[in-house]
C-alpha cells in the first residue's frame, strides 16, 4: 500500500512539474513605425495586446524597424531567441523574413502584405480596398471642388489597389470628381507627408486621403480648413474638424486565430486575405459633418460588399488612357488584384 501511495505521489509531482515547466508560446511582432496613438503599427499593436491576453502566450515587439538589412537583423534575433511565431508587418520585410525562415524550419513566420512564402512562412493581409471604396464614396459626396488629393506611399500593388478602390468609390457618387496622387516613398515621415498634402491643397484639392502611418496629411487638412480621410486607425483626434472617416484595421481576431492554430498544431503556410465579412477591415465612425443620407448610402454599400453581393473591382473598368481593362460582366481575380500595376480612369498622376 505504501509503495502504491508513493507511486501516486510521484506521478502527481511529475504532473505538477510538467505544468510549471510548460513554455508559453513566444510570439514576436516587427513594426515599421512607432506604435504611437494611431496608425498602422498602432493597429497591429492593439491586436498584439489581444494575443498577449490569451492563455499560454507571451508577446513582444520591436518598433520603427527600417525595411532591408535592419529588419533581417531583428527577425534573426527573434528566431535565435526561440520565438515560436514571428509577425513581420511591412511589405519590405518580405525578403529578409524569407531568408531567416529558411534557417529556422521549426518557427512559423507570418509576413504582412507580401507574396513570397515557404513551408514555414505564410502571407497575410486584409481587403482594406473594400474600406477604401467606402471612404472614397464619402469623399466623393463631400467634395465641392471635385478635386481630391491622395498622399500615396510606394507604387506597389497594395497601394495602387487602394488608390484605385478609393477612386472607384468617389466615382460611384460623383463621376465628375478626380483624384490627384503624389508619392512620398515613405511609410512614416510626418513632415514629408504633411508637405505632400499641402502641395495637393495648393492645386485645389479640398479633401485629402492618405496611405501612410502618420497624421501629417490630416493635420495639413485641418490647418487649411478642408476635409480629410484617414487610414489604418481612427485619426479623428488629429483633425477633429476635418476627419470624415478612415479605412481601419482590426487585426485582433486574425492574430488570435493564427496563434490558436499554432497552439493546436493546425497551422499551415497559405495566403490569408480577409475583408469586411470577417471584420478585419472597416471604416471609422463618421465625423459630425457627414450628412445622414451620405452615411446611409455608404453603410448600405458596406453591407453589400460584406455579403459578397457587390465586388469593388467588377467590370467595366478602364485605365487612365481610357482603354478597357476589365470587361463588363467580369470581376478581377485575386491574382490580378495582388499584381495591380495600373491606375483606373479618374486618377491624375503617374505610377512612379
Predicted confidence (pLDDT) at residue 136 exceeds the cutoff of 90:
yes
Three-class SS state of 239: coil
Angle at 76 (CA atoms; ends 70, 78), nearest 5 degrees: 110
Superfamily of domain 128-248+281-348: Response regulator (3.40.50.2300)
What one-character-per-residue DSSP string does 170-220 give?
HHHH-TT-EEEEEE---SS-HHHHHHHHHHHHTTT--EEEE-SSSSHHHHH
Can you tell me the mean pLDDT for 230-255? 98
For the sheet containing 121-126, what is the strand order?
57-62, 25-30, 85-88, 108-112, 121-126, 271-274
> What is the rounded average pLDDT for all residues in the chain?
94
Running DSSP on this structure, what letter comes out for residue 1?
-
Predicted confidence (pLDDT) at residue 16 exceeds the cutoff of 70:
no
Q: Does the fold of domain 128-248+281-348 match that of domain 24-127+251-278?
A: yes
pLDDT digits (tens, 9 = 90+) for 276-311: 999 999 999 999 999 999 999 999 999 999 999 999
Taking the C-alpha atoms of residue 214 and residue 316, their distance in angstroms, rounded to an integer, is 35
The pTM (predicted TM-score) of the whole model is: 0.90
* Omega before residue 88 within 30° of 0, cis: no
What percent helix, strand, coil does the chain show, rounded to 5? 40, 20, 35
Taking the C-alpha atoms of residue 153 and residue 190, their distance in angstroms, rounded to an integer, is 12
CATH assignment, 24-127+251-278: 3.40.50.2300
Taking the C-alpha atoms of residue 44 and residue 48, their distance in angstroms, rounded to an integer, is 6
Three-class SS state of 262: helix
- In this prediction, residue 22 carries a pLDDT of 62
Domain boundaries, the chain: 24-127+251-278, 128-248+281-348
Amino acid at each position: 500500500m505504501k509503495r502504491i501511495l508513493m507511486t501516486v505521489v510521484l506521478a502527481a509531482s511529475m504532473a505538477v512539474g510538467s505544468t510549471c515547466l510548460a513554455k508559453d508560446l513566444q510570439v514576436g511582432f516587427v513594426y515599421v513605425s512607432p506604435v504611437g496613438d494611431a496608425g498602422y503599427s498602432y493597429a497591429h499593436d492593439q491586436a498584439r495586446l489581444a494575443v498577449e491576453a490569451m492563455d499560454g502566450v507571451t508577446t513582444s515587439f520591436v518598433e520603427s524597424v527600417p525595411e532591408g538589412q535592419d529588419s533581417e537583423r531583428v527577425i534573426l534575433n527573434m528566431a535565435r531567441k526561440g520565438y515560436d511565431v514571428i509577425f513581420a508587418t511591412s511589405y519590405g520585410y518580405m525578403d529578409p523574413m524569407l531568408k531567416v525562415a529558411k534557417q529556422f524550419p521549426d518557427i512559423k513566420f507570418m509576413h504582412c502584405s507580401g507574396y513570397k512564402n515557404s513551408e514555414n512562412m505564410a502571407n497575410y493581409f486584409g481587403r482594406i480596398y473594400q474600406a477604401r471604396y467606402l471612404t472614397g464614396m464619402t469623399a466623393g459626396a463631400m467634395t465641392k471642388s471635385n478635386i481630391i488629393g491622395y498622399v500615396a506611399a510606394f507604387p506597389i500593388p497594395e497601394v495602387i489597389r487602394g488608390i484605385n478602390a478609393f477612386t472607384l468609390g468617389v466615382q460611384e457618387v460623383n463621376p465628375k470628381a478626380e483624384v490627384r496622387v503624389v508619392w512620398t516613398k515613405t511609410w512614416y515621415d510626418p513632415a514629408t507627408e504633411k508637405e505632400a498634402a499641402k502641395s495637393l491643397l495648393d492645386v485645389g484639392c479640398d479633401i485629402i486621403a492618405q496611405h501612410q502611418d502618420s497624421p501629417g496629411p490630416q493635420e495639413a487638412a485641418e490647418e487649411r480648413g478642408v476635409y480629410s480621410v484617414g487610414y489604418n486607425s481612427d485619426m479623428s483626434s488629429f483633425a477633429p474638424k476635418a476627419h470624415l472617416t478612415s479605412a481601419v484595421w482590426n487585426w485582433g481576431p486574425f492574430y488570435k486565430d493564427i496563434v490558436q492554430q499554432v497552439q493546436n498544431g493546425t497551422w499551415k503556410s497559405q495566403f490569408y486575405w480577409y475583408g469586411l465579412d470577417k471584420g478585419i477591415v472597416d471604416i471609422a465612425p463618421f465625423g459630425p459633418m457627414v450628412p445622414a443620407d451620405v452615411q446611409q448610402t455608404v453603410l448600405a454599400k458596406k453591407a453589400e460588399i460584406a455579403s459578397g453581393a457587390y465586388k469593388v473591382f467588377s467590370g467595366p473598368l478602364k485605365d487612365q488612357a481610357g482603354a478597357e481593362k476589365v470587361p463588363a460582366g467580369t470581376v478581377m481575380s485575386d491574382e490580378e488584384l495582388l499584381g495591380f500595376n495600373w491606375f483606373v480612369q479618374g486618377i491624375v498622376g503617374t505610377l512612379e
